[in-house]
Amino acid sequence: MKRYIIVLLILLSYGLAGCEQTIEPDGPETLTIYSINDFHGDVLDEDGNFSVIGNYLMNQKQTNPENTVIISVGDMFQGTAISNMSNGKVVVEMMNEIGFDAMTIGNHEFDWGIEVLSSYRDGVGFDADFPFLSANIAEKATEELVDWAEPYAIVEKGDIKVGIIGLIGQYLTSSISPSIIEPFEFLPEFSIARELAYELRTEHDVDVVILSIHSNTTYDNQAYANLTGDYQIDAVLNGHTHSLYEGELEGTDQIAMPYVQSGSSGSHIGKITLSLDENNVVTQGQAMNLTVQANMAAENAVLSEIMNRYNEEVELIAGEVIGVAGITIERGLGTEWAADVIKLATNQDIGLINMGGIRSSGFPIYQNDNITVGDIWEIMPFDNYVKTVKVKAEDIVNVAYSGMQLSLNAYISGGFLYIDHEMIDPDTYVSVATIDYVFDNPSYPFLTGIDPFATGVLFRDYLILNIRELCQDGSKWMGQAS
């Protein structure tokens, strides 16, 4: 009798006594979002190349195919010889293989012009298998959003419907060459994110809303965390400033909204884990950064084949040794050298460049290191052309205070410009060599200067030529232009 009662109770508990019963899952479901920001084409990084990073992400996706999302937060292509020489195609091809779900457009996606970016999503020839996102890039002429980017993507992971909103920082137009960005404007981010979260939830029945924004929004993230109901944003992915941070902010609904930015050049992978209840409502979130190392995963055979195929072509050019370093050269000395090169190459009174244009990732160059064409691509990855013009000395003083590097023969003291240790009268015109990124900025005086001239020569080519000439007789480069 006791055995009969025990068996009956067991059967009833499992719903096998003639009536159906739904068995609930043992615990909450999770969604994991992996993100990379500001990769800058660093496919071959020795600390963990893109084959290693990609294999790690592919393994995570294979292990949890219905719970894993992979997103780029922008600035993926521009920055290295292997990527620049292929206009980013090597990165796109590897992202396709890895299985990225979406990519937000960053400011450096504009560097080669919109034609290059849009060609990867035009349905003609080679294309990206993932959408390019930006919900706030508009044409000035029409005030309509551009047609080469989507405002958001919707991906389904098992029974979880995920909406990914892409945005770019409203004020990052100043980080783009004026000649390229002139037709476009970036609209305010917060109101758009709020409206699209509502649209995704009410019109598309999305369960989870992720904001992927190429900007540092640490000062705005609390406002995002406070959005609730149909306006709720469940996680924020940041980029642009190359910062390394992660955290959670509790909103008015007491739910922790995670946010993350993951360095640059593939140094880290952002990882956000969201917990969902049985109705696919996010109940909690956690953020962390994973440090990329060569032993994070084995290289993936397919990814390595893609990487090596492009590298073999690039090495024919980028691998050429043009000199040897006679001393260890840090970024500061390298920036001074670059400003001197542009002056000497064009025979102007002074050279002037923006300090941000000489990238820290290319330094240090150690004493006795071979210097290759590829090294100069890393130091100066942008396709900036050199221009010359005459402007007043007082204009140079004002520009120099905005974060510029002058050639070593010039400096500012007491509000005056000095050239070769001689104070220049503020109304005196001086000839200046600079790059189009600086020249074309309407905030500066160069567009209205006297005798403007476009050399048609890339700044990078002048840098390569200078080291090649200095070292042609076996001499070592000492970090100087002459």
User: What are the strands, taking DSSP E only, across 267-413?
Assistant: 268-276, 282-291, 321-324, 350-354, 370-372, 385-392, 404-406, 410-413
- Domain boundaries 29-310, corresponding CATH code: 3.60.21.10
Contacts of 127 (CB under 8 A, 6+ apart): 120, 121
Find the helix or strand (DSSP H, E) in which 416 lies: strand 416-419
29-310 and 320-470: same fold? no
Superfamily classification of domain 320-470: 5'-Nucleotidase, C-terminal domain (3.90.780.10)
- Asked if residues 270 and 35 have their Cβ atoms less than 8 Å apart, the reply is yes
Cα–Cα nearest to 161, from 276, 34, 28, 283: 276
At residue 22, the pLDDT reads 31
Longest dimension (CA), the chain: 111
Prediction pTM value: 0.86
SS3 of residue 471 by DSSP: coil
- Per-10-residue mean pLDDT, the chain, length 482: 38 35 49 97 94 98 96 95 94 98 97 93 94 98 96 96 98 91 96 98 98 96 96 98 97 94 97 96 96 96 97 92 97 97 98 92 94 93 94 96 94 96 97 96 94 96 97 96 94
For strand 416-419 and strand 422-424, is the pairing parallel, antiparallel, or unpaired?
Answer: antiparallel
> How far does CA 343 lie from the centroid of its chain?
30
- pLDDT for residue 241: 96
> What is the pLDDT at residue 28?
59
Structural domain boundaries in the chain: 29-310, 320-470
